[in-house]
Structure 1
């Protein structure tokens, strides 16, 4: 068994465990807080899950050896008439050397034990969830200013947060499946900027003139870490 197959198999096992763990946690999370009589139900959560896996890897090595054998005990006699050199009543001719190939296979097995733990992690490191408000505003010919405000679920403004802007070509193609686009939409000043003390930032984007004139939908993404919001620009 090759190392690639081992890695894929182990990956499938770990992903299967994590998927089952997520399904179990979602089921526990969806339990009603009260029963039909108004009494509070006991709610559970899965803080962690320990696991032990026994993995057996098998390695095979094939070798091929070639030997030469001469069968001297099996002479072949020719009559006088058929022997190529005349003058001999009978002659003895021996069989030629025979090449023999022998294949051997060596198998080794290695058994390993893999231990680990799946740990539940609070989203956003326990802090209130981030919220990105992004509004495009036309400020010139084929130029839009994207005004962004970053706050959290508690309403606090997040300063010095790194905001990234990207033009999503793949999503744009999906929304305009029957059209051929130029995809020259680009950001003028910067595609990354940090929010000010009020949690705000702004960048300018120049949309493709032909794509915009043809009424195509252009998709932009704004993200802070793993929090993403999408906006669309259309004529």
Structure 2
């Protein structure tokens, strides 16, 4: 997720659909494209610093051996595609799996207004798009990953839907740890730091818990919460 751009132009709605979790819309606001879910701003195409840092921080936190062995990253949330595009631009990632629960967002990337941003990354043979709810996916999948990058909400305390809240609980984080390989990295984007969430990560068994700030033009910095599953 990221913060909305400041502009006084009237947004143009390019598409609006009723999805499995409510209404999702794609708007053009000036030069930016915005994704809106149930009237709540999620993200736009104005600045991908947060998404790039999310992916890079996860890779940097891996052990040298994991980085050298074509690691597999699971990205929670396709969004406007910044995380996927950045991961696909880095040859060190061996496989890239993106879980997105909104069919409309996947469609906007495949053959809609977001396609120019992500077409090359979608065509990358390392890329797999999974149409599923991330909470259900981490509870049910038998796959394992070297890194899990979560960007499906505005943070642990500001979720897009109530169903997502369970992901940031101790039980939900235990499910995240289950799909991570030993020494695997969990990276969670948030619009603001949360000492409480850091404590929940530790209580869920993660180690090397830390928070990395992402400077913004105004207000509290965005952050990436990082944690490692013990080997």
Q: What TM-score do the two structures reach when normalised by structure 2?
A: 0.19
Higher Rg: 1
| Greater fraction strand | 1
Q: Which has the higher contact order (CA 8 A, sep 6+)?
A: 2
Q: What TM-score do the two structures reach when normalised by structure 1?
A: 0.19
| Greater fraction helix | 2
